[in-house]
Chain A
Amino acid sequence: MNPRRKKRLAVILSILLGISVTVGLMLYALSQNMDLFYTPTELVDGKPNGTKPEIGQRLRIGGMVVAGSVKRDPESLRVSFSLRDVGPEVTVVYNGILPDLFREGQGIVAQGILKNSTTVEAFEVLAKHDEEYMPPEIAEAMQKNHQPLEYSEKQLKGSY
């Protein structure tokens, strides 16, 4: 090989190395940070293809907050509430401040770790900034169960 070719080979090899490092790093970061979404029913009974989350797994869960289920610890900011769509309920435990739009009967999304088969320890709770908003995942899950749960006419209209 003449020096020129050698140089070229070195350049190409270093580019390949760079690309593979980047791609490898990206795949690693992805595998660490990709959280699957479950509805309460899917979390308890498994997804249609039968997969159920394992205890200790990081996941996202979305559903409607069951009325009357929000309980606060009197000494700290620890709070627990139940989420449901059309099937069984799942308890979410969270230590922190709930978003402004968190209300009973409202759709929310929580991100956290599965503690036991029906409890999620959340580190983030999101409620959307729109009254009419229902997380698309929830709306879809409810469609699938042939029992669409929707906001009432009054809720949708707002205050005319």
Chain B
Amino acid sequence: MVVEIGHFALILSLALALLLSVLPLYGATKNNLVLMNSARPLSWGMFVLLALSFSVLLWAFYTNDFTLKYVAANSNSQLPWYYRLTAVWGAHEGSLLLWVLIQAGWTVAVASFSRGMPQESVARVLAIMGLVTVGFLLFIIITSNPFLRTLPNFPVDGRDLNPLLQDPGLIIHPPMLYMGYVGFSVAFSFAIASLMTGRLDTAWARWSRPWTIAAWSFLTLGIALGSWWAYYELGWGGWWFWDPVENASFMPWLAGTALMHSLVVTEKRGTFKAWTVLLAISAFSLSLLGTFLVRSGILVSVHAFASDPARGMFILVFLVFVIGGSLLLFALKGNSIRVRGKFDLVSRENVLLANNVILIAALVVVLVGTLLPLVHKQIGLGSVSIGAPFFDLLFAWLMMPFAFLLGIGPLIRWKRDNLSSLYKPLITTAIGSALIAAIMVYALAEHFIFMAYIGWLMAIWIVMLHGYELHQRSTHRHTFWHGLKKIHHGHWAMMLGHIGLAVSIIGITMVQNYSIERDVRLAPGEHYQIEGYDFYFKGLRDKDGPNYDGYVADFDVTYDGAFINELQAEKRFYTTARSMMTEAAIDSGITRDLYIALGERLEDKRSWAIRIYYKPFVRWIWAGAILMALGGIIAISDKRYRFRNKIQHQVAS
């Protein structure tokens, strides 16, 4: 009975979403205030109904209601309660429901935080968001309904959640990622709504900026969490595999990063409008493309959900509708928004343009690498795979001009600048960073690798020039400490974002060039040494959990005879899902991780195949991502975006 309420709420929310996508839009064209005003309550209604529907599904999982097909396929009565709840988004149907719930959440957020915007714009934006929600709700109800019953013959127990997903990292990774994906629909809706009216002004850019930054921050965190999870849970110690699904999340991130920077130009200088709109459309379209690739099972991937051609077809049609529709609109209205900005070759505008060009080039690389195998197969040339070295090579080369521009970008003024005043600091920094990078590589690594040197060079170049810029800005009119306090949030956000990238670059450089990975054969009582660390395999013991049987291998790690840590690597056999899982043991540190994962027990019944890894600076990759996301949060907190206060202020005065 409860389940039917959830099902009914889901269908009812579709009805509200339909109304939301029609009424306010009609009201906006006819200038009917009542219809326009209906947008906010309709958004709230849609959100509340979806929240109800989602809670019902949570409840069904919590109470082990195996009469539901989806619960029976993805849960088990032996599963701990917290994993039963997160199992809701452990597979296709539930994660889509989470997706629309988040979509509705963003809609409600726009409805609440947009009081300073003209009623007509709000109505249009919310209507577009409603339209997107309609698409996803139809998708759920037609092809992937989580509320289908198994009655009358329902199973006594469920098939259990995929053991890989029984992990705290998976509790927050998908919601974060979806917050990012779906968040780009806000920027998309703003762009489409403004295209409809043909009024793409700086106000539009100022409204979309905080939303874009928010979505981007979530996506950054979501991707970083996924990478971290893959690192410790898959037991291979890799942090990025260039897997099609990872690429699917990386493409909107690249487009979103470009969008964020191009919005700056549109807001501050009123140019790049058409380009910004295109980026807003592509960021969201790429999110949809990602969903299509993952859900249709068209690509071979570790993430591939059970494939169903009907689902793939539906998303493909939806994708064509969204991309085709928005590009058509762009073609019709686009020429009216072209502005000829006047700026010189050396100007902030051009640096940001170059930033966008490189980001889009990177995007094209990922797109080609992900889709080419698909095309290759469809045109009958046989199936191929494109390996990680393809992406690694191209990203390393694209990163160099990117890092170079990233360093000087903030120093260059809008519209027109003269490089001559910058020659001195640039040359000093170039020499300084070349020296420091050499020292770092010499101090941290045993042998010199050219790419590692380049990596450090890029990171230190960025950090030094940002430090110089900060000093220049704060001592411009005040003393250093006083001036530092005057710097507004947006500027700190940029600093954090860029330095976060530098931190990630250091992490990636060190891991890619100086990791030591050994697959060894070890029996209890034996030693193995890497980089001066001694790993002593003490012994093996049993350790069973609620829904698995497991072994634990105890290791003592010492360095020069000094005790470092005791590591416990686990091997689990999940009885219901009948699958083996590896739980890696990691001793994490700022400059290095030590990583042990159990392989399999070998024929002699004593020895084990064991992975022992030394991963220098691997934490820096995620630390950088956290800094970037933090930058995003600080950017949103900037006073300029508190429209409500501003309006009230004006009224008061």
Q: A residues within 8 Å of B by Cβ?
A: 7, 11, 18, 22, 25-26, 29-30, 32-37, 47, 60, 72, 74-77, 95-98, 100-101, 109, 111, 128-133, 135-137, 158-160
Contact = CB atoms under 8 A, between A and B. Distances in A.
Contacts of A25: 393-394, 397
B306 A132 contact: yes
B579 A101 contact: yes
Given A137-B383, A158-B159, A29 B389 contact: yes
Contact of A129 (B162, B297, B368, B521): B162
A132 B581 CA distance: 17
Contact of B385 (A32, A60, A131): A60
A131 B603 contact: no
A30 B386 contact: yes
B387 interface: yes
A98 B386 contact: no
Contacts, number: 105
B382 A100 contact: no
B351 to A, nearest CB: 14
A97 B390 contact: no
26 contacts: A22-B398, A25-B393, A25-B394, A26-B365, A29-B389, A30-B368, A32-B389, A32-B390, A33-B387, A34-B386, A36-B382, A36-B383, A72-B603, A76-B521, A77-B609, A97-B609, A100-B582, A129-B162, A129-B164, A129-B302, A131-B577, A131-B578, A132-B306, A158-B578, A159-B576, A160-B159
Query: Which 5 A-B pairs rank lowest in CB-CB distance, beginning with the nearest?
Result: A97-B599, A33-B390, A100-B580, A37-B383, A33-B387
B345 interface: yes
Contacts of B384: 34-37
Interface of B: 155, 157, 159, 162, 164, 235, 297, 300, 302, 304, 306, 345, 357, 361, 365, 368, 372, 382-387, 389-390, 393-394, 397-398, 519-521, 576-582, 599-600, 602-604, 609-611
A96 B162 CA distance: 25
A77 B394 contact: no
A35 B385 contact: yes
Given A77-B519, A98-B609, 17 more contacts: A22-B361, A29-B394, A30-B372, A30-B386, A30-B390, A34-B372, A34-B384, A47-B382, A60-B385, A75-B521, A97-B519, A100-B235, A111-B385, A137-B383, A158-B578, A159-B159, A159-B576
Nearest to A79: B609
A33 to B, nearest CB: 4
A135 B361 contact: no
Contact of B300 (A77, A111, A135): A135
Contacts of A30: 368, 372, 386, 390
Nearest to B597: A97
Contacts of B609: 77, 96-98
A60 B384 CA distance: 8
Contact of A74 (B386, B519, B604): B604
B578 A35 contact: no
A45 to B, nearest CB: 15
A69 B67 CA distance: 42
Most buried by B among A34, A35, A111: A34
A122 to B, nearest CB: 13
A7 B346 CA distance: 12
Nearest to A132: B306
A98 B599 contact: yes
B352 to A, nearest CB: 16
Nearest to A28: B393
Contacts of A133: 304
Contacts of A33: 386-387, 389-390
Contact of A77 (B235, B383, B520, B604): B520
A18 B162 CA distance: 46
Contacts of B602: 72
Nearest to A75: B521
B579 A131 contact: yes
Contacts of B345: 7, 11
A41 to B, nearest CB: 14
Nearest to B299: A136
B232 to A, nearest CB: 15
Nearest to B394: A29
Nearest to A136: B300
Contacts of B599: 77, 97-98
A135 B377 CA distance: 14
Nearest to B575: A159
A16 to B, nearest CB: 13
Given A98-B599, A129-B162, A26 B306 contact: no
A160 B578 contact: no
Nearest to B307: A136
A135 B604 CA distance: 32
A74 B157 CA distance: 42
B617 to A, nearest CB: 24
Given A72-B603, A100-B235, A37 B382 contact: yes
A160 B155 contact: yes
Contacts of A36: 382-384
A122 B127 CA distance: 54
B569 to A, nearest CB: 12
Contact of B600 (A98, A109, A159): A98
Contacts of B155: 160
A47 B383 CA distance: 11
Most buried by A among B372, B382, B579: B382
B322 to A, nearest CB: 27
A37 B385 contact: yes
Contact of A29 (B162, B361, B390, B610): B390
Contacts of A136: 297, 300
B578 A29 contact: no
A77 B521 contact: yes
A77 B603 CA distance: 11
B279 to A, nearest CB: 19
A29 B579 contact: no
A101 B600 contact: no
A40 to B, nearest CB: 15
A22 B363 CA distance: 12
A156 to B, nearest CB: 11
Nearest to B572: A100
A101 B383 CA distance: 23
Nearest to A97: B599
A32 B386 CA distance: 9
